């Protein structure tokens, strides 16, 4: 149960299952081979593929922290359960990640990493916008015409 104090969220983080980029997969393989833990590793969204994260570089911004992982047969090789802490909007501003919404979109699919705005004044649909709110983390998965947006 989330606990609220004052104006800020002090409770449960947004937990998502994410997949590693090929470079992060290689780092995980090396860590496992050397009997090292990846729990606590800092990761950042790549904006290259749905739900994909890469290892955060030293002294670099990160979006999430790996809390647990599962090795899979075949692609994506690993499923990473991560606490998603923040995201950067299209203007580079950092926001606390509070929820994930599965939104229908109109027209061209929003770009990964973009924000969204209302498509029209009388529609439930959204469209991608660099000036919009949220952070698009997946498009057309599992169904076409929808995007998953972190707010």
Q: Is 59 left (phi over 0), alpha (psi -120 to 50) or beta?
A: left
| The predicted structure's pLDDT at residue 90 | 76
- pTM attached to this predicted model: 0.86
What CA–CA distances, in Å, run from 60 to 54, 55, 63, 113?
12, 10, 10, 17
**Structure tokens belonging to residue 86:** 């923040």
Q: How far apart are CA 62 and CA 41, in angstroms?
A: 10
Write out residues in the chain with pLDDT < 70, as ranges.
Answer: 1-11
pLDDT (0 to 100) of residue 35: 96
Residue 60 tokens read as: 């670099």
């Amino acid at each position: 149960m989330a606990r609220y104090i004052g104006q800020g969220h002090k409770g449960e983080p947004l937990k998502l299952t994410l997949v590693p980029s090929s470079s992060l997969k290689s780092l995980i393989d090396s860590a496992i081979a050397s009997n090292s833990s990846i729990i606590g590793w800092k990761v950042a969204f790549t904006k290259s593929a749905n739900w994909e994260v890469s290892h955060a570089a030293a002294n670099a911004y990160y979006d999430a922290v790996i809390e647990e992982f599962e090795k899979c047969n075949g692609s994506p090789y690993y499923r990473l359960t991560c606490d998603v802490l923040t995201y950067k909007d299209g203007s580079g501003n950092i926001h606390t990640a509070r929820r994930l919404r599965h939104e229908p979109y109109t027209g061209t699919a929003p770009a990964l990493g973009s924000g969204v705005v209302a498509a029209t004044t009388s529609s439930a649909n959204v469209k991608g916008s660099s000036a919009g709110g949220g952070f698009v983390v997946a498009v057309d998965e599992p169904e076409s015409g929808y995007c998953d947006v972190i707010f």
